[in-house]
Amino acid sequence: MASHHSSSSFFTTFRLCFCLLLPFLLGMASAQLTTNFYSSSCPNALSIIKSAVNTAVSNEARMGASLLRLHFHDCFVNGCDASILLDDTSNFTGEKTAGPNLNSVRGFDVVDTIKSQVESSCPGVVSCADILAVVARDSVVALGGPSWTVRLGRRDSTTASLSTANSDIPTPTLNLSGLISSFSNKGFTANEMVALSGSHTIGQARCTSFRARLYNETNIDASFQSSLQANCPSSGGDNNLSPLDTQSPTTFDNAYYTNLVNNKGLLHSDQQLFNGGSTDSQVTTYSTKSTTFFTDFANAMVKMGNLSPLTGTSGQIRTNCRKTN
């Protein structure tokens, strides 16, 4: 009898513990992004997004870099939740006026167009955060870079954080230790940081972002320096643009790393990756082995897309990416 009682007590306790754990386990399951999230709810979503990205990039190659950057600047501020897309209102301050974003982050109109097209196909289903994640991948592919499988199921935030955008997005003035620390705070290794920095093989930067390097640093190729100074004088011309990769600014390749090896990094933070420090050897490898860079970049992008997504019943699916429902 004692044995039977102990057995009953055990199963009663087990059932109680399982019932208490069940919501937690279900919560964990719902927090997992999946590769086929819209396969039945919006089967045309991915093709709609890809077509729109291809059109936007063919109209302006630079847009590919801008759309990739939107995803990055979104994910580094409280996770990949489309908070960067929210406009300021009379009683709400978004992230668009943060230092790293103001007069710099762009591509919002393209996202608006994509959202409108997706809403026409399946209203209230596809999140703005997922659109940003897919758009980043499709932009890289459109410019000749690697592809990766985007995991989906993110939901959109109802809040934003100007202060976190100002503090957490890496700046062009960071030294190597600052870059490693900034990415480490988001769970990335130094190797992943170097791989993700390769996104600077496309896109452009404003003069104000690299003037200090152009006029104050010695680890810069002389002819490269001279060619840039006309477009970025020692004073004025803050918003004049120069390509981050002068070799092939509209092609996603490994030329960014070749530039670094030749002291032709545009930003201070770029050249820090090849400046006698711990990341030199990785830069050298990427400069000669584009397939290695492509593989590492794709894997790091998957990891970035997994930064603290809102899932399940958290957040919402915004009808308009610029404002909450």
DSSP of 113-126, one letter per residue?
HHHHHHHHHSTTTS
Mean pLDDT, to the nearest integer, of 134-155? 98
Query: Is 88 annotated for ligand binding?
Result: no
Residues 149 and 193 in one domain: no
Residues 202 and 281 in one domain: yes
Query: Is 74 annotated for ligand binding?
Result: yes
Mean pLDDT, to the nearest integer, of 265-286? 98
Q: Determine the Cα–Cα distance for residues 280 and 161; give it in Å rounded to an integer.
A: 34
Residues 6+ apart with CB under 8 A from 1: none
Report the CATH number at residue 197.
Answer: 1.10.420.10
Q: What values do phi and psi take at 170, rounded to 5?
A: -60, 140
Residues 6+ apart with CB under 8 A from 22: none
Within a domain: 109:
yes
- Give tens-digit pLDDT for 152-162: 999 999 999 99
- Domain limit, last residue, from 169, 195, 223: 169
| pLDDT-based confidence at residue 316 (cuts at 50, 70, 90) | very high
pLDDT at 16 over 80: no
Residues 188 and 76 in one domain: no
Residues 197 and 228 in one domain: yes
Within a domain: 200:
yes
Q: Which long-range contacts (CB under 8 A, 24 or more apart) does 19-24 make?
A: none
Per-residue pLDDT at 23: 44
Q: Which of 4, 5, 71, 73 is catalytic?
A: 73
Query: Is 95 annotated for ligand binding?
Result: yes
| pLDDT-based confidence at residue 32 (cuts at 50, 70, 90) | confident
Strand partners, 218: none
Report the CATH number at residue 83.
Answer: 1.10.520.10
- Give tens-digit pLDDT for 69-98: 999 999 999 999 999 999 999 999 999 999
Residues 155 and 212 in one domain: no
Considering just the CA atoms, what is the radius of gyration of the chain in Å?
23
Kindly tell me the number of DSSP H helices and DSSP E strands found in the chain. Answer: 14, 2
Residues 6+ apart with CB under 8 A from 70: 84, 85, 105, 107, 108, 111, 132, 135, 136
Active site residue 5: no
Residues 154 and 182 in one domain: no
Query: Is 245 annotated for ligand binding?
Result: yes
| pLDDT-based confidence at residue 4 (cuts at 50, 70, 90) | low
Mean pLDDT, to the nearest integer, of 219-228? 97
Residues 234 and 288 in one domain: yes
Q: Determine the Cα–Cα distance for residues 221 and 259; give it in Å rounded to an integer.
A: 10
pLDDT at 171 over 70: yes
pLDDT at 150 over 50: yes
Within a domain: 180:
yes
Residues 198 and 298 in one domain: yes
Query: Is 309 annotated for ligand binding?
Result: no
Query: Is 71 annotated for ligand binding?
Result: no
Within a domain: 324:
no
Question: What percent of the chain shows pLDDT beyond 70?
Answer: 90
Q: Quote the distance between the C-alpha of residue 313 and its chain's center.
A: 24
Q: Determine the Cα–Cα distance for residues 187 and 196; give it in Å rounded to an integer.
A: 13
- Give tens-digit pLDDT for 33-52: 999 999 999 999 999 999 99
Residues 163 and 195 in one domain: no
1 vs 222, residue with greater confidence: 222
Within a domain: 217:
yes
Residues 214 and 283 in one domain: yes
Range of the domain at 106: 45-169
- Give tens-digit pLDDT for 187-216: 999 999 999 999 999 999 999 999 999 999
Token pair in block for residue 17: 């513990």
Q: Quote the distance between the C-alpha of residue 266 and its chain's center.
A: 20
Within a domain: 282:
yes
Angle among Cα 98, 85, 96 to the nearest 5 degrees reads: 15
